[in-house]
Amino acid sequence: MEALDFIAQAWMVIFGCAAIWLLGRREEWRRWGYLTGLVSQPAWFFSGFYHRQWGLVVISCWYTYSWVQGVWNFWLRSKVS
């Protein structure tokens, strides 16, 4: 299981940092930050459950909701409207 934990930690660093960096970029790059942040969430959930850090699991639910809002607003809504 330690290998899975290492992979999850690397996943969080790579995709989490990329998401924040992309959100700070110009408008045409910003929408990628929301998608990248959403991709990072499974690793956060895994880590929270694996380490029994229930606060992390709860906040991961909130972050997932927030990332989904960004994906909806910057990827899906413009196509639906």
Residue-wise pLDDT for 35-72, tens only, equals 999 999 999 999 999 999 999 999 999 999 999 999 99
Q: Which domain holds residue 70?
A: 2-80
Number of domains composing the chain: 1
Band the pLDDT of 1: cuts 50, 70, 90: confident
What is the percentage of the chain residues whose pLDDT exceeds 90?
88
How many whole angstroms separate alpha carbon 27 and alpha carbon 5? 34
Q: Cα–Cα distances in Å, from 41 out to 1, 10, 28?
A: 19, 12, 23
Q: Which letter, b or e, does each residue of 51-70 get, where b requires 16 or more Cβ atoms within 10 Å of its Cβ? A: eeeeebbeebeebbeebeeb
Q: What is the pLDDT of residue 27?
A: 84
Looking at the chain, list the stretches that DSSP marks H as alpha helix, in order from N- to C-terminal side: 2-11, 17-23, 27-50, 54-71, 77-80
